[in-house]
Amino acid sequence: MSPTPEEYVVLATLLRASNPKNVFEFGTAIGGSTRVLALNAPQATVYTLDLEEPRTDQKVASEAHLSVLGSNSRGALAQGLPNVVFLRGDSRKYDFSGVPPCDFIFIDGGHDDETLHADTESAFRLLNPANPSAVIAWHDCSNWALLNVNAYTKALSVNRRIFGALNTMLRFYVPRLEGVESDLLSRED
């Protein structure tokens, strides 16, 4: 499921606050989120990773519809944007050595447990340690069809400050917010 317009506003706000030079997206699909990221951070290079072919192994039932996306429609909404770099491969095995540290990372690729864990571990390795305003954002965290995503971010919140934007399916981590409480943010407790 693509982010809603309200979620795109939250993503754009977090993106701008991170002052990114490099952005990474797990899961291009048709490129809606890629487009939002690229247009709201024109100074940044946006790396977006998607599969060569739709994945059929370990796909959760609620994502089965994604396998019908034709390879020619993937990334279509972000084609021609000068700051987007399209990468292809399986994020669980991808060699990220050519990707620089990133100031904003959006995880909305495979939602099965193996991919979610691998993408999150890669995101924390890619996160720019020199930018305390860097962001990792996860989508589909309160999606009733993908309860494992919500459970996973809740488990992460035991050791890290993971916040949710109210009335969205977004959760996010910002190193700078490690010691901050706010009525505007819902802590994953």
143 burial (CB, 10 Å; 0-12 / 13-18 / 19+) is middle
Going along the chain, which residue ranges are E strands? 22-26, 45-50, 84-88, 104-107, 135-138, 162-165, 171-173, 185-187
5-187 — its CATH code? 3.40.50.150
Q: Are 28 and 75 in contact (CB under 8 A)?
A: yes
In the structure encoding, which two tokens stand for residue 11, read together? 């993503």
* Per-residue pLDDT of the chain in tens (189 residues, 90 and over written 9): 689 999 999 999 999 999 999 999 999 999 999 999 999 999 999 999 999 865 555 445 545 545 454 455 789 999 999 999 999 999 999 999 999 999 999 999 998 999 999 999 999 999 999 999 999 999 998 887 788 888 999 999 888 989 988 889 999 999 887 766 655 454 444
Q: How many CB atoms lie within 10 A of CB 157?
A: 17
